[in-house]
Chain A
């Protein structure tokens, strides 16, 4: 019968295990490792930080320039809320079933929303990119999808975000 012994307090024991077992001196308050002051500070930050975020004007607001006439496939609120799901659902339909209704075509969105100046939905003032930069959501679509309407051979739409 083998007795496997491991003893945090015996010779050669790991300092890390001892630390996890021990309590710091002078710790008061609801949690064993934090003092009362720590908890108050944390609560203050919790309240203050959101207000600090809204106060700053250093994040440029997205530029939503619609320079082409016509209506979008749905109203603004629906599009803002639902466009990720619409795109994700539609892409599977198109890819796997070959359903290519013009209403949900990504090319259709891009052709309409591409800036007339840059010919792209990317770039600082790009329709897609400026909003996504503001919201901090990575844009993966245009790694593969063309960011603007079909160009003449040889032209480059410029750098990726």
Chain B
């Protein structure tokens, strides 16, 4: 190429570079705005369908005896032992798994899987069991009649029935006798831009087995990991589209 052409090329290249930068800026700016909106929802804004909350649990990091997540959930949601383990509510539990043939043992926390097609929502006669726009599956205890059909229908044994009267509820977590309940993904915390109690406890204790975030946001930690590493879902054969992903199962 001649010197003349080169100078012309630089100008053209320069022009292209500048316009590319400008275009990039214009393209990025709305993206920056979107991240901003997904990260913080104003109190008077409704939960958006563009968000899909999820959990990623790396069971390779789950120690067999550890139940930090279980204890944190109980503290946060006001679930305490009444001395009747068979009727006490458990929203999350550690399941110890063992392959009898190979002897491999590991453990995993199991809670409501917040399915995209929840069987509990399908079977609820009053519609009290419902899925919020952002993927969190909840029980509207104003409408729950306590028929326990959802407990029959849930493949993950995620729900509990309140068998006794309670008077010491956490003001942020109403729960009462005669209604069905389950993991809410700490919706009262999520709505205030906090993490679910189990995830926070696991992170604080430096186990780092649990990640929470917006699966629909490609920039979120959880979305990046789910895109990068192989993950499985519990009873994936049922194809319920659970929001909880597991590694190491």
A–B direct contact (CB < 8 Å): yes
From the candidates B47, B178, B179, name the one contacting A97 in the complex (CB within 8 A).
Answer: B47
Given the known inter-chain contacts A95-B138, A98-B134, A101-B44, please indicate yes or no for A159 contacting B171, CB distance below 8 A: no
Residues from chain A with a CB closer than 8 A to the CB of B75 are 153
Contact between chains at A157 and B43 (CB < 8 Å):
no
Interface flags for B159-181 (1: CB within 8 Å of A; 0: not) read 00000010111111011111100
From the candidates A143, A150, A158, name the one contacting B177 in the complex (CB within 8 A).
Answer: A143
From the candidates A91, A93, A98, A99, name the one contacting B142 in the complex (CB within 8 A).
Answer: A91
Question: Complex Cα distance A21/B111, Å?
Answer: 65
28 residue pairs of the A-B complex, CB under 8 angstroms, read A91-B142, A92-B142, A95-B142, A96-B132, A96-B140, A97-B46, A98-B47, A99-B44, A102-B43, A107-B171, A110-B171, A111-B171, A143-B176, A143-B177, A144-B169, A144-B176, A146-B168, A146-B169, A146-B174, A148-B171, A149-B171, A151-B168, A153-B75, A156-B167, A156-B168, A157-B167, A157-B168, A159-B167
Contact between chains at A160 and B170 (CB < 8 Å):
no
Interface of A is mostly: loop
Interface of B is mostly: loop
Residues from chain B with a CB closer than 8 A to the CB of A102 are 43
Tally of contacts, chain A with chain B, CB under 8 A: 69
Question: Complex Cα distance A132/B209, Å?
Answer: 49
Contact between chains at B168 and A144 (CB < 8 Å):
no
- Residues of chain B touching chain A, judged by Cβ–Cβ distance below 8 Å, are 41, 43-47, 75, 130, 132-134, 138, 140-142, 165, 167-172, 174-179, 187, 191-192
- Output the nearest chain B residue to A152 by Cβ-Cβ distance: B168
Q: Is A2 an interface residue (CB 8 A)?
A: no
CB distance from B161 to the nearest CB of A (A): 14
Residues from chain B with a CB closer than 8 A to the CB of A143 are 165, 176-178
Q: Is A28 an interface residue (CB 8 A)?
A: no
Question: Complex Cα distance A100/B138, Å?
Answer: 16
Interface residue tally on A, bucketed by range: 20 to 34
Q: Is A11 an interface residue (CB 8 A)?
A: no
In the complex, the 4 A-B pairs of residues with the closest C-beta atoms, listed nearest first: A144-B176, A97-B46, A98-B47, A143-B176
CB distance from A144 to the nearest CB of B (A): 3
Residues from chain B with a CB closer than 8 A to the CB of A158 are 167
Q: Is A145 an interface residue (CB 8 A)?
A: yes
Contact between chains at A98 and B46 (CB < 8 Å):
yes
Q: Is A5 an interface residue (CB 8 A)?
A: no
Residues from chain A with a CB closer than 8 A to the CB of B176 are 143-145
Q: Is A155 an interface residue (CB 8 A)?
A: yes
Interface centre among A100, A107, A144, A146 (most CB of B within 10 A): A144
Question: Complex Cα distance A148/B75, Å?
Answer: 18
CB distance from B89 to the nearest CB of A (A): 13
- Output the nearest chain A residue to B134 by Cβ-Cβ distance: A98
Question: Complex Cα distance A155/B132, Å?
Answer: 33
Question: Complex Cα distance A136/B8, Å?
Answer: 90
Interface centre among A97, A149, A151, A153 (most CB of B within 10 A): A97
- Output the nearest chain B residue to A91 by Cβ-Cβ distance: B142
From the candidates B43, B134, B140, B174, name the one contacting A100 in the complex (CB within 8 A).
Answer: B43
Question: Complex Cα distance A107/B44, Å?
Answer: 16
CB distance from B76 to the nearest CB of A (A): 12
Question: Complex Cα distance A99/B41, Å?
Answer: 10
